[in-house]
Structure formats: C-alpha cells, structure tokens
Amino acid sequence: MKKPYTRLLSIAFGTATLGGMISLGAYLYTRPLETMNAFLRVTLRLAGAREYTCDLQGIPMHYYCAGRRGLPLILIHGLGNSAEIWSSLFPLLSKEFLVYAPDLPGFGRTPLAPEGVNINTHVLYLKRFLDALGYPRAILVGNSLGGWIATQFAARYPERVHSLYLLNSAGLRREETRSPYAADRVAARQTMQNIWGYPLPWPGFLLDAIVRTSHQPAYYRFIQGYDPQEELDAILKQVNAPTVIIWGKRDGLFPLTCAYDFHAGIANSSLILLEHIGHMPQTQAALQIMQIIHWHEQKHQRH
C-alpha cells in the first residue's frame, strides 16, 4: 500500500503534467506558427545547426550555420517566413556544403531595418551579412521573395555570386499573379491552397495565424509599399552567374509563365519544372532540391 506522501506526490506530478499539456495545447492553439518554428528550431539544432547573430551596423541578424568549410551557400527565405522554413533542406545540404540560413530584417529573430522593408534594403543587408562573415563570393538559393532578393543581388554584384538557384522566385508580376496577403480566413485559406497547390482542411486557428502574419510590419509594409520599379524584367540580362530556375508547377501564386520568363531573361540559366509541387519546393521536395544543387555544383567544379 502506498504511503500518503507517495500518493500525494503521484497526484501532484500527474496534475503538473496535465497542466503542462493543457498549457502547451493552449499555446499551440493561439500561436501555432510560433510553436511550429520552435519545433523546427529544435530539429535544426539536433541536426547539427549552430545558431548565431551578427551585428550589421546596429541590426543583429539571426542565422543558422552548419556544414564543412568551403564556398558558403546562403538560403534566403520568402515573405512572412523565417530561416526555419529551410529545416527540411538545410540538414541535407550541410552534408556537402557550408550552409547559412539567415532571418531577413523584420522576420524571425531579426528586427526591422531602419532603411525600410523594400527589395533594395534586403539586398543591402544580404551584402552586409556576407561582408560581416568575410565571404567575397557565395552560392545563393532563394525562394519567392528570397529569389527576388538573390536575383537583384546577382545583377548588382555579379562578382560576388558563384551560382544562383531560384525556387519559385518572385520579382516578375504577370496577369495571373496572386498576392499572398490574407486579410481574413477566406483569403488565408485561398493563400494556403495557392502555396501548397492543393485544397486542404486548414483549421480556423491556423488560418487566423496566417492573417496575423499578413499584418506583421515587415510583411504588411512590403505589400503596401510595393514598388514596380524593383521588379526584375529590366535587369535579368545583367545576371551572368550560372542560374538554375526550379519551379513547382502547382504554384498558385506565381504562374508558370514567370518560370519561362526567368529562363528567357537570364542567359546562363537552366529550367527545372517539378510536377505536383507548389510554391515552396524546399519544403515539398527537399531531397530533390538537394540533388539538383549538388549535381549542378559538381558540374561547375568539373568545368
């Protein structure tokens, strides 16, 4: 027979465990994206990623790093995302490359930049990031907004880009282009379908989180201050780095026309279309993306 204090201890432990589960459930319900990113952060750390911040003239940029020494490969996330969006691809690439995944200013754990939230500002901070790390050249991999930033950087600083990988890149506005901005649940559900390429039964609390993301300063101000003069049509011919355009064909945000126009505009480019993949190939086809990058970088080394 258990002693009274043993029974009390068991009851107290069970109550504390139940309370912890309820608190976790409540936090997941009210902050689902933050909970997911916290889980992905642990996943990255367990996979060997190291976490740092570097001072970029007063802005502490948060980033992950892993892999061997060599030419750095920089993963640049899209609008409303953070470095954790690369959690599926990051460990795969770090087996062969020295990989960095920063949070852009205003996203993740990096604060807003005083210069603003436009493309020029993000290009400036990408340059400052590479300067701070001491890398004169890098491989750039960008998804969506990240591809737009990487392309602008490659056109402006051609000597600093060894090769360029554009994953469903933004920067070319066409008639069928759809905004990711979500003002309410209806728009959030459509945005998620556009991103993933399939209609899924998204729960209301997750749709609410998508709406909150759309109202974050770096996201909302970028949408509101959208500058057509920063679009890429006129500068694609200035990109001379070997470029691979990777495009999920089920992308509902950017039409397939954009993929062909990137390919036509960048002289030294190749185009790879992915069946059954939506707007974020790094999440939906991580192994395939790793293999594409590895094959092309091996090809560059042979030549």
pLDDT tens for each residue of 86-98: 999 999 999 999 9
DSSP three-state, residue 113? coil
| Domain-wise residue ranges, the chain | 1-30, 43-302
Mean pLDDT along residues 47-62: 96
Mean pLDDT along residues 175-183: 96
Amino acid 29: pLDDT:
61
Amino acid 16: pLDDT:
44
Amino acid 302: pLDDT:
73
Q: How confident is the model at residue 266 (pLDDT cuts 50, 70, 90)?
A: very high
- CA–CA separation, 105 vs 122, rounded Å? 7
Amino acid 130: pLDDT:
98
**Looking at the domain 43-302, which fold is it?**
Rossmann fold (3.40.50)
Unique residue bearing structure tokens 């004169």: 136
pLDDT at residue 3 tops 80: no
Helix axes 145-156, 119-133, angle to 10 degrees: 70
Amino acid 19: pLDDT:
41
Mean pLDDT of the chain: 91
Amino acid 9: pLDDT:
52
- CA–CA separation, 223 vs 197, rounded Å? 22
Mean pLDDT along residues 249-270: 98
- Whole-angstrom CA distances from 137 to 77, 124, 140 are 19, 15, 9
Please give the backbone phi and psi of residue 217, each rounded to the nearest 5 degrees, phi first: -55, -50
Percent of the chain predicted with pLDDT > 70? 90
Percent of the chain predicted with pLDDT > 90? 87
Q: Check: CB of residue 160 under 8 Å from CB of residue 138.
A: yes
Unique residue bearing structure tokens 């802005």: 59
pLDDT at residue 25 tops 80: no
Mean pLDDT along residues 272-300: 96
- CA–CA separation, 290 vs 249, rounded Å? 18
pLDDT at residue 10 tops 80: no
pTM above 0.85, yes or no: yes
Amino acid 70: pLDDT:
86
